[in-house]
Amino acid sequence: MEKAHNFLASNFRYFYFTSIPHLLFFICHLPFSPLIFSLFPLPYIIRIFAAEAGIRACQSIGIFSPQVSPSTIDCSSFFDKYYKKTYMLFKELNLIEPILKALEKEGYTQPTPIQEQSIPTILKGKDLLGCAQTGTGKTAAFAIPMLQLLHEKHINTKATKNIKALVLTPTRELAIQIEESFKAYGSNLNLRRLVIFGGVNQHSQVEALRKGVDILVATPGRLLDLMNQGFISLNTIELFVLDEADRMLDMGFIHDVKRVVAKLPAKRQTLFFSATMPDEIQKLANTILSSPTKVEVTPVSSTAETINQSIYFVDKPDKKKLLIHLLEDKAIETALVFTRTKHGADRIVKDLAHAGIKAAAIHGNKSQNARQRALTDFKDRKIRVLVATDIAARGIDIDQLSHVFNYELPNIPESYVHRIGRTGRAGANGIAISFCDAEENEYLLDIQKLIKITLPVVDNHPYPLTWESMLAKNQVKRKPQAQSKGGGGGKRGGGDGNMSGKPRNASNNRRFGGNRNKAK
């Protein structure tokens, strides 16, 4: 009993001077309150009683086992488990002061789970296999320790023109944003960085390479092109990052990746990141990694709990009207709209423009300058809506994006996860709204099967899909599904997210659901 009291007493000044909010956390949680009260200058017998009462309270809710007695409790282990681990800070990850100052300037204090797990491993020089979905903070998870390793190794050496670190990523937008992250986190370090990608003249990129680069961020096509021209050699690479490996596979870059890997030195540190791990990606990881540490912070293909998801059943011709109707809500300051085709993205931009809503499209047919201008205008709030195809889904990183619209459901369920992952990032709240016409019902069923969530239905809107129009199309391939008991799943109560079966109330033309939500 005295052991518990003495531990608290000896650490009271630490808690008081370093973290008053954390001390209040304990005081405000009943099981810990008697332990805290045992510190106050009360008669000894009262303090001892308070310490024992606190321990018994913790036992009653399962924090301490019944066998634990006040005289044998290891308070140090207890506080390590329930206090320190809860409030991990960047300064506890053994980062150097210049990087900590840069992170503080960016407003970062607490690492995300993948950063907390990855940074110590990378700083030890080990290979890493990271399975993390978009929006988890994985760019900082590799950029921060890479900057520290390069700085510490070369701080006292003469600068050379040799490339020391290579980050390979699938899209131009993502490459630019990764380079911007290196710039922000390494603002107090003397490390040179460069981003190269296709679709623009290579002259400025070649000139920068000739001056010397420490960290190179590249897309596969332009990298191989400049390697073949003799402007880039990978013989001096110490750190290699393969980012979004599964997207590389989807985009047909896997053979380009293998050609790049073949030119890397055998002695290197490799960091491999992928949102999903299909067999071919796992085989690739096995060939380029050496005894890697695996980090998996969330289940593969799960959606963030902070994202409020819903589905709107609507006829295909009415989708543009429904989108415009929902965007009349001025509370939606910015919205990212996803479509399956490039032509569809351009058409949506024109429809929104006719309705007086400023929008721009970003997809593979746009020039690099046009894509970057659209992205910059969206970030600066010069335009309200950005329309994108799946190819750009993971190359968009926008702070405080509240709404994502799936104008068309993706035919690949995993793409749904990547799309809505643009919102609800790093613990923030987000809203994902999906439109589903009669032809897309099978896609919806596949998505719900993947994410293990039945999306709540909103059908009280001006353009609901009628049962008659669905039957007229006669194109829906239905899959057997257990009959809903009403209420659905997800964060908002509502329908069952399925159009199969008969309408529940044909007489008044209720559409495909139980207790539906009203459109806001």
Which range is least confidently modeled, 86-90, 157-161, 182-186, 387-391?
A: 86-90
**Predicted local confidence at residue 340, as pLDDT:** 85
- Say what percent of the chain tops pLDDT 90: 44
**Predicted local confidence at residue 8, as pLDDT:** 45
| Vertex 407: Cα angle to 404 and 412 (nearest 5) | 90
pLDDT: which is higher, 520 or 257: 257
Entry pTM = 0.56
pLDDT: which is higher, 501 or 165: 165
Which range is least confidently modeled, 171-185, 209-223, 348-362, 367-381?
A: 367-381
Spatial strand order in the sheet of 165-168: 193-196, 215-218, 165-168, 239-242, 269-274, 128-131, 293-296
DSSP-derived 3-state class of residue 339: strand
**Predicted local confidence at residue 220, as pLDDT:** 95
H runs (alpha helix) in 19-160: 20-28, 33-37, 44-60, 75-79, 97-106, 113-123, 138-154
Each residue's pLDDT tens digit, 278-300: 888 999 999 999 999 999 876 54
**Rounded to an integer, what distance in angstroms lies between the CA atom of residue 353 and that of residue 372?**
20
**Predicted local confidence at residue 277, as pLDDT:** 82
Each residue's pLDDT tens digit, 447-495: 998 888 899 999 889 999 876 556 555 443 333 333 333 333 333 334 4
Instruction: Report the first-to-last Cα separation within the chain, whole angstroms.
Output: 57
pLDDT tier for residue 204 given thresholds of 50, 70 and 90: very high
pLDDT tier for residue 394 given thresholds of 50, 70 and 90: low
Instruction: Please give the average per-residue pLDDT across 11-34, as a whole number.
Output: 43
**Predicted local confidence at residue 152, as pLDDT:** 94
Domains of the chain in start order, with CATH, are 2-87 (no CATH), 91-296 (3.40.50.300), 307-518 (3.40.50.300)
**Predicted local confidence at residue 171, as pLDDT:** 85
DSSP-derived 3-state class of residue 294: strand
Highest average pLDDT, of 31-35, 84-88, 449-453, 502-506, comes from 449-453
DSSP-derived 3-state class of residue 193: strand
Which range is least confidently modeled, 135-139, 146-150, 196-200, 447-451?
A: 135-139
Residue whose pair of structure tokens reads 């998801």 in the numeric block: 309
**Rounded to an integer, what distance in angstroms lies between the CA atom of residue 44 and that of residue 41?**
8
Sign of the CA dihedral with 278 first, then 281, 286, and 289 last:
negative
Q: Would you say 422 and 398 are in contact if contact means Cβ atoms under 8 Å apart? A: yes
Q: Is the pLDDT of residue 16 over 60?
A: no
Q: Would you say 216 and 194 are in contact if contact means Cβ atoms under 8 Å apart? A: yes
**Predicted local confidence at residue 391, as pLDDT:** 63
Which range is least confidently modeled, 19-23, 51-55, 510-514?
A: 510-514
* Average pLDDT, rounded, for the chain: 77
* Residue 113, Cβ density class (10 Å: 0-12 exposed, 13-18 middle, ≥19 buried): middle
pLDDT: which is higher, 442 or 10: 442
**Predicted local confidence at residue 292, as pLDDT:** 95
pLDDT tier for residue 426 given thresholds of 50, 70 and 90: low
**Predicted local confidence at residue 167, as pLDDT:** 98
**Predicted local confidence at residue 91, as pLDDT:** 87
pLDDT: which is higher, 131 or 322: 322
**Predicted local confidence at residue 100, as pLDDT:** 95
- Hey, what are 88's tokens? 């991990």
Each residue's pLDDT tens digit, 71-107: 444 444 444 444 444 457 898 999 999 999 999 888 7
pLDDT tier for residue 427 given thresholds of 50, 70 and 90: low
DSSP-derived 3-state class of residue 47: helix
Q: Which helix (H) or strand (E) holds 179?
A: helix 172-185
Residue whose pair of structure tokens reads 């309270």 in the numeric block: 57
**Predicted local confidence at residue 419, as pLDDT:** 86
Instruction: Please give the average per-residue pLDDT across 96-123, as a whole number.
Output: 91
